[in-house]
């Protein structure tokens, strides 16, 4: 069996995360519309939207890394993944459980998203 390298997992993680985001969006539209308040439903949808956008970002970073392998691509992917977990994950849990302190985690995930995009942008701006 071949060794699994983190670099080889970027695209599959992005694809599986995108699948989860689509399922979460469908769950919000069909399963939660009569359960959650309008505010919580919108928050849940925001979590799914950000997860989908950054899952596609992970796939793009994975493709870019196949062309130009470097640590900045890996760092960008890690920050995107952490952002998905912290931002979207905290919002999903907040809306489903009502535990308000989870909202304090969300901005950390947002900062991870910002870091991911900044690292990616500067990586290619300053590339040879």
Q: What is the pLDDT of residues 61-98, one digit of tens each?
A: 999 999 988 999 999 999 999 999 999 999 999 999 99
State the DSSP code for 36.
S
Residue 1 domain flag: no
Cβ(50)–Cβ(88) under 8 Å? yes
Distance CA 114, CA 128 (A): 23
Are 56 and 19 a contacting pair, CB within 8 Å? no
Q: Say how many domains are in the chain.
A: 1
Q: For residue 120, tell me if it sits in a domain.
A: yes
Whole-model pTM?
Answer: 0.93
- Please report the pLDDT score of residue 22 as a whole number: 98
Mean pLDDT across 30-39: 93
Average pLDDT over residues 39-61: 97
Give the Cα separation of 6 and 21 in Å (integer).
Answer: 22
Stretch 6-35: mean pLDDT:
94
The Cβ of residue 19 has, within 10 Å, a number of other Cβ atoms equal to 12
Q: What is the pLDDT of residue 123?
A: 94
Structure tokens at 73: 């691509």
The overall average pLDDT reported for the chain is: 94
Domain boundaries, position 19: 6-125
* Alpha-carbon distances of 79 from 25, 32, 41, 72, 116, rounded to whole Å: 23, 29, 26, 10, 5
> Is 80 exceeded by the pLDDT of residue 6?
no
pLDDT at residue number 4: 65
User: If we measure between CA atoms, which residue out of 82, 125, 100, 3 comes closest to residue 43?
Assistant: 100
Q: Is 101 a domain residue?
A: yes
């Amino acid at each position: 069996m071949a060794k699994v390298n983190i670099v080889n997992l970027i695209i599959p993680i992005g694809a599986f995360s995108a699948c989860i985001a689509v399922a979460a969006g469908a769950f919000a539209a069909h399963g939660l519309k009569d359960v959650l308040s309008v505010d919580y439903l919108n928050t849940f949808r925001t979590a799914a939207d950000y997860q989908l956008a950054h899952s596609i970002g992970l796939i793009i970073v994975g493709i870019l890394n196949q062309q130009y392998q470097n640590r900045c691509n890996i760092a960008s992917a890690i920050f995107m993944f952490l952002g998905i977990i912290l931002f979207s994950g905290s919002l999903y849990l907040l809306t489903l459980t009502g535990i308000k302190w989870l909202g304090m985690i969300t901005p950390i995930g947002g900062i991870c998203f910002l870091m991911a995009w900044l690292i990616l942008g500067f990586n290619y701006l300053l590339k040879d």
